[in-house]
């Protein structure tokens, strides 16, 4: 399983206090394991093993401090992520329910999909058929627009004598 970016101090978290605390914790854990492993190697002299045991204890203390620091700095972010994940899981469950209800409705109304497709095709056909008439009624010539020219702007109605009253 992959370690999340916050817990390894990478990605968006790299330059944040939480990211730095995470990397400090990982380093202390790694160095502590390494020192503990070297402390048990039989092919080393007792002085070297004693030195590695002391290092292992020192890294264990650093790990303890790093865990406390990470918990302090990362807690608000982890709480926010937990809330976001919980909300997403709830919404996912709701959507699964909606999909189930829709699939049930589709099974109860098998003709609906065909009818919607026919209506969509009719609308597209009518749109293509009526587009030139609508453009002409509105006073637009799309060929001018296609050529990059602006159609003449219609004059607003005048006042008084210009109205033919």
What pLDDT is stored for residue 155 in this prediction? 65
Spatial CA neighbour of 23 closest among 1, 5, 37, 36: 5
pLDDT given for residue 147 in this prediction: 64
**In whole angstroms, what is the distance from residue 32 CA to residue 29 CA?**
5
**What pLDDT score was predicted for residue 89?**
97
Phi, then psi, of 45 in degrees rounded to 5: -70, 165
Please tell me the predicted confidence (pLDDT) of residue 133.
76
Mean pLDDT by 10 residues, the chain (165 residues): 78 88 94 94 90 95 95 91 95 96 92 92 89 70 62 60 53
């Amino acid at each position: 399983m992959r370690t999340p970016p916050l817990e390894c101090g990478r990605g968006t978290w790299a330059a944040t206090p939480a990211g730095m605390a995470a990397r400090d914790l990982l380093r202390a854990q790694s160095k502590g394991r390494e020192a503990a492993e070297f402390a048990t190697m039989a092919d080393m002299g007792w002085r070297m093993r004693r030195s590695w045991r002391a290092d292992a204890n020192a890294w264990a203390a650093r790990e303890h401090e790093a865990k406390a620091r990470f918990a302090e700095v990362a807690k608000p972010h982890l709480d926010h992520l937990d809330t976001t994940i919980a909300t997403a899981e709830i919404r996912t469950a709701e959507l699964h329910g909606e999909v189930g209800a829709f699939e049930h409705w589709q099974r109860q109304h098998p003709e609906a999909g065909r009818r919607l497709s026919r209506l969509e095709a009719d609308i597209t056909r009518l749109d293509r058929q009526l587009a030139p008439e609508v453009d002409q009624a509105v006073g637009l010539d799309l060929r001018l627009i296609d050529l990059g020219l602006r159609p003449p702007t219609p004059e607003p109605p005048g006042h008084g004598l210009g109205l033919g009253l």
